[in-house]
Every structure is written in structure tokens, then in C-alpha cells.
Structure 1
Amino acid sequence: MVPGVGGEPVGGQRGTPAADGARPRGSTRRDVTRRLFSSALVVALTPVTAACGKRAEHAPDDGRRATAFDETYRGRHIRGVEVHPAERAAVAGAQWKVTIDGHPLHLMRRADGSWLSMVDHYRSYPTALAAARGAVDELGPEEQLHDLAPGPMGGGPMHMGGGNGVHA
């Protein structure tokens, strides 16, 4: 407040605390709005701060190129072998045959050289082993991979669908 003529305060605000420093009883709209905004901000930023604080769960690539791996990760047996198809070796590089507990895991190579799996296809991984570990993380302890459908990739005969259409 600004002192006016004769020492009287000028420009005082209504609802200001009393001279002894006591606040009015109850919350003002400003206090309620401030608390709601703070709570919303905490809720919005919690996932961001949790993601920033995570350490890498997968072993970093140390520059060595592995041609096979066989390990147990979180109680699951992961096995992978690098395969070089003769006709695609120069164009696409190596492919991997990966199994988790004996069931095949299909991996796909991205244009940037990273890998993604059919289990966790929203995230890419630097190596085939890291992609297999990511699939184990997504599957959890109870769920199992299903074998691939019959066809060229699954090794069974390819079914062309004749005679199995809808019958009315």
C-alpha cells in the first residue's frame, strides 16, 4: 500500500490479510485454481520424468558383431542365429532366426538398421538380441509365443484358400 496524505493508506485491496498477518478463513478461488493446476502438472509430467530416469535394460552394443547368441533372459531361453540368404545378402544384409523357448520370433529390419519384432513392433532395438529381450519383456512370465502360420516362412505348405470361402 502507498501512504497518502496524513498517513492514510491509499490503493488498498479488498480481501487483503489483516494487519496481524492472519489470512481469511477458507480458500480463495486463486488458491483452488493454483492447487488444481499444480496437480494437473504433476500428473502430466510423471510419465515424462519416469521415462527420462530409466536406465537401459538391454546390454549396449559394444561394437562387436555376433553371429549367434544363446542365453536365458528373465527365465526365458533365447536363441538366435544369423542367416545370410544368398540372393539378399548384398541388398538387405543378414537376417536372424530367433526363438524364445523354442518358438520362432519374427524380426524385421528397419531402414535405419535397427530391429523390431512381431511382439513389440512399436519400438526399435539396436540389435537382434535386444529385440528378442524386448519381446520377452512384452510377453511377461506367463504368455508364450505362438508358432508361425503355415506358409513359406513357417515351413509348412502354402494354403491358397480354395474351397474355404463363406458358404451361405
Structure 2
Amino acid sequence: MNPEMFLTRRSAALILLGAASTATAVARLRSPAEPDPEPERAAGADPDSFEETYLGRRVRGIRSPGEAGTWQVTVDGRPLHLMRRADGTYLSMVDHYDSYASPLAAARGAVAELGDQALRTHEGRPGPARDRKV
């Protein structure tokens, strides 16, 4: 047997490192683009509410009176449950692995995660569309 035919530990480690780097680069190229960061608020905008169309979905939110950090948020008229974390960030029941700086950012993250799907109730059925003023 020719000893030059065998890989050394160093060359094997370099080959594995190169394969891992290539796999990571391919995964990043295939992942969807991140949603645009939250635009600056217009002067005079109410900091206790928001309403916008994001990725074709109607997102509305209003701060609940008397309760610090509690928001009522809807996506296309269906309620989106948000929770406030101990560090002051928010998460949604749709996208509960990521934290967001504001309720609007959490709603946008949920919309991006939903894609074309509708929000569902806790029983797993599509929730009723509501015309609540939020």
C-alpha cells in the first residue's frame, strides 16, 4: 500500500470544513429574503395603534387601555395573539421562535410566516373574519 493515498487528519478536516461551508452558503441562498425593517413612523402618528397593508395582508393593532404592553392585533380581521416577553420584546403564536421589538414587527413576522394561509383559531379551524375597529 502506498502511504500517499491515505488522507491525513488535517486534509480530512479541511475537506469536511469546506463541505460544511458550502452547505451553509447554499442554505442561505435558498432561504427567503427577510422582510423589510420597520419604516420610521410619520410625524404625529399615534404610537398606541397601527394600520397598514403588509405583503398584501391588512394588519391592525391597538394598545389595550390600562394594560402595559397588551395589544389587540388583527390580520385580515382575524385576531393574532401576541405575548410580551420579559425583555420587552414580542412574539406571536404564529411565529413563536423569534422575538420582535414592537407589536407591528411581530405582526409582520407572522404575516411573512403565514404566506397565503389564513390565521386559524385555537381549534385549528380558520377564524371568522371580523369587522372590528381596532
SS in 1 for 2:83: strand
Partner residue in 1 for 2:7: 29
* Paired-residue identity, %: 41
Structure 1 segments (4+ residues) deviating >4 Å? 47-50
Residue 71 (structure 2) aligns with: 96
Correspondence for 1:78? 59
Which structure is richer in relative contact order (CA contacts within 8 A, separation 6 or more)? 2
TM-score by length of 1: 0.55
Q: Which runs of 5+ in 1 are unaligned?
A: 1-13, 17-26, 150-168
C-alpha distance in 1, partners of 2:107/2:85?
15
Cα distance in structure 1, aligned partners of 2:118 and 2:3: 66
Q: Is 1:42 equivalent to 2:9 in the alignment?
A: no
User: Which entry has the higher C-alpha Rg, 1 or 2?
Assistant: 1
> How far does the alpha carbon of each residue in 1:77-118 deviate from its partner, in whole angstroms, 9 at most, with x for none?
101111124xxx3xxx13111000111000001111110101
Give 1:16-165 correspondences, 5 Å limit.
29-30=7-8, 33=12, 36-43=15-22, 45-46=24-25, 57-59=36-38, 66-85=47-66, 89=67, 93-140=68-115, 142-147=116-121
Give, as a single letter, the amino acid of the residue that structure 2 aligns with 1:29: L
State the distance in 1 between where 2:86 and 2:14 align.
47
CA distance in structure 2 between the partners assigned to 1:33 and 1:130 by the alignment? 44
Give the AA of the match of 1:81. I
Answer whether contact 1:104 1:148 (CA < 8 A) is retained: no
State the superposition RMSD in angstroms.
Answer: 3.5
Q: Give the whole-Å Cα distance in 2 for the aligned partners of 1:131 and 1:65.
A: 18
